[in-house]
Amino acid sequence: MDRLKFYIDGAWVDPVASSTLGVLNPATEEVFARVSLGSAQDVDRAVGAARRAFATYSETSVEERLGYLGRITEGFRARLPELARAMTLEMGAPITFSTERQATVALFHFEEAARVLARYPFEERMGEGIIRREPIGVCGLITPWNWPLNQVASKVAPALATGCTVVLKPSEIAPLSAMLFAEIVHEAGLPPGVFNLVNGDGPTVGEAVAAHAGIDMVSFTGSTAAGVRVAKLAADTVKRVAQELGGKSANIILDDADLRAAVTQGVHACYTNGGQNCQSPTRMLVPRARREAAFEVAREAAGAIRLGDPLDPATTMGPVVSHAQFEKVQAFINSGIEEGARLVAGGPGRPAEFNHGYYVRPTVFGDVTPDMRIAQEEIFGPVLSIMSYDTEEEAIGIANDTPFGLAGFVQSGDPGRARAIANRIRAGRVYINGAPFDRSLPFGGYKQSGNGREFGAFGLEEYLEVKAILGSQG
């Protein structure tokens, strides 16, 4: 499964220098593939190809771009099982989740980009002039390992839809699904240079992308600390920066909610993707009078999680992505115990039934206070903090007492009451009573959770410049 070439200017090419990295299967702790690590010179080659291609691709018609998106979508559907298996191997998501969520939601981005593109008003009259929206240019896209293909698609689809060209740096931890995706793009017949892929690490290739003068926009998904670094590097060339960063989402369960249903749903939502999910509701807020009942339900829900081989369809949670991530999560679990939180379920160490793999015990803490590390910092693992409140005002205050603002959750028997609280949560997206995912609605954060939006018309507009034309009678 080695993938040692980069995709630049419509062809698979050797990197400038020879340096490789093993791709680790987190369930077995074994290297099963290798990729090349790129350099600033490789980025420069890719940017040059993208700049040349932009001159003509930016002038393509909506119909032409819809054709490319349609062929990518067809190729994606045809290879979806292969894409899902690659993600299971490279980052440990259970194969059922990889198929039904990881790969399928990635496909949604191309379907949604095509839907929006088909009716988007790139020109409209305003006052005595015309407002024209044009592709921003060459886009540097830096994507993470936790949703390796979804985050690639969330950026590539709107970029191609608007007429931009792309230089993609996927995560070096989970790069194989992106390499398969590049094959799909190639088979779709995009003009050479429109889509380019260079593998590498953040300090080398990621920073070269962020700083490159030939890149007009950088879109980054990852940690807040890395996002700050990207923004600083991009500032020298005043390029646009769109970021989807960390989260510490609160799940407010009101006193009129069905407690068993709400807590069970909240536990499983927290553990989505092994807890390696930026919008996970990792802080559950329950009325103080019902805390003991909430603890008992949460304990039952955590006990129902089935850890196991990610390739087994019966597995509901696989390992976390790496040894470093395992150690980070263990440190947070230990800090919760040391700071006095009540251990309701799980705890430190690998589950007894596993002698290999980066498996974390699904963990629930109760009696968590806002000053604890597990209440303030993003853990990125299957760890839930249950916090108590006495009044709605206190619950809203706790929910907003975080530097993050990616998502929020509210559970109530009264939709109007839930809506009033949702309006006051400082986050880019709020789910009421377990509302299902909607691909047409924007996703992105407030505060240190970022400054861009994905999906739908809002996602498309991240890749457009706005031009006012005055004096035209056309």
* Contact between 258 and 386 (Cβ < 8 Å): no
Cβ neighbours for 6, distance < 8 A, ≥ 6 positions apart: 12, 13, 14, 15, 36, 38, 42, 46, 196, 197, 198, 199
Query: Domain check: are 135 and 162 in the same one?
Result: yes
Catalytic, 278? Answer yes
Residue 340 placed within a domain: yes
Query: Domain check: are 130 and 236 in the same one?
Result: yes
List the domain range (segments joined by +) for residue 331.
250-438
| Percent of the chain residues topping a pLDDT of 90 | 98
Query: Domain check: are 357 and 458 in the same one?
Result: no
Active-site residue identified among 139, 278, 378, 462 = 278
Cβ neighbours for 131, distance < 8 A, ≥ 6 positions apart: 123, 124, 125, 466, 467, 468, 469
Q: Closest Cα partner for 90 from 1, 174, 213, 31? A: 174
Q: Closest Cα partner for 357 from 394, 298, 312, 307? A: 307
Query: Domain check: are 411 and 462 in the same one?
Result: no
The CATH number linked to 86 is 3.40.605.10
- Model confidence over 363-386: pLDDT tens digits? 999 999 999 999 999 999 999 999
- Model confidence over 207-245: pLDDT tens digits? 999 999 999 999 999 999 999 999 999 999 999 999 999
- Model confidence over 49-63: pLDDT tens digits? 999 999 999 999 999
> Which residue(s) pair with 20 in the sheet?
36
Query: Domain check: are 208 and 195 in the same one?
Result: yes
Residue 473 has pLDDT above 70, yes or no: no
DSSP labels for 21-78? EEEEETTTTEEEEEEE---HHHHHHHHHHHHHHHHHHTT--HHHHHHHHHHHHHHHHH
Cβ neighbours for 245, distance < 8 A, ≥ 6 positions apart: 221, 222, 223, 224, 227, 278, 404, 406, 445, 448, 449, 450
Query: Domain check: are 85 and 123 in the same one?
Result: yes
Site of tokens 């799940």: 251
Cβ neighbours for 348, distance < 8 A, ≥ 6 positions apart: 330, 333, 334, 337, 361
* Contact between 469 and 134 (Cβ < 8 Å): no
Residue 443 placed within a domain: no
Residue 115 has pLDDT above 80, yes or no: yes
Query: Domain check: are 121 and 144 in the same one?
Result: yes
pLDDT grade for 1, boundaries at 50, 70 and 90: confident
Q: Closest Cα partner for 209 from 20, 44, 6, 55? A: 44
- Return the H-helix or E-strand segment holding 293: helix 291-303
Query: Domain check: are 221 and 104 in the same one?
Result: yes
Residue 437 has pLDDT above 90, yes or no: no
What is the number of structural domains in the chain?
A: 2
The CATH number linked to 318 is 3.40.309.10
* Contact between 79 and 106 (Cβ < 8 Å): no
Average of pLDDT values for 75-87?
98
Residue 160 placed within a domain: yes
Active-site residue identified among 90, 244, 378, 454 = 244
Q: What is the pTM of this model?
A: 0.97
Residue 142 placed within a domain: yes
Rounded Cα distance between 352 and 305, Å, is: 15
* Contact between 16 and 43 (Cβ < 8 Å): no
Residue 425 placed within a domain: yes
Catalytic, 292? Answer no
* Contact between 443 and 457 (Cβ < 8 Å): no
Residue 444 placed within a domain: no
Query: Domain check: are 293 and 190 in the same one?
Result: no
DSSP state of 435: P
pLDDT of residue 77: 97
Residue 445 placed within a domain: no
Query: Domain check: are 236 and 266 in the same one?
Result: no
Rounded Cα distance between 194 and 205, Å, is: 19
Query: Domain check: are 268 and 372 in the same one?
Result: yes
Cβ neighbours for 108, distance < 8 A, ≥ 6 positions apart: 153, 439
- Model confidence over 259-296: pLDDT tens digits? 999 999 999 999 999 999 999 999 999 999 999 999 99
Write out the two tokens for 165. 């060209």
pLDDT of residue 447: 97
pLDDT of residue 474: 54
Residue 1 placed within a domain: no
* Contact between 201 and 172 (Cβ < 8 Å): yes
Query: Domain check: are 123 and 171 in the same one?
Result: yes
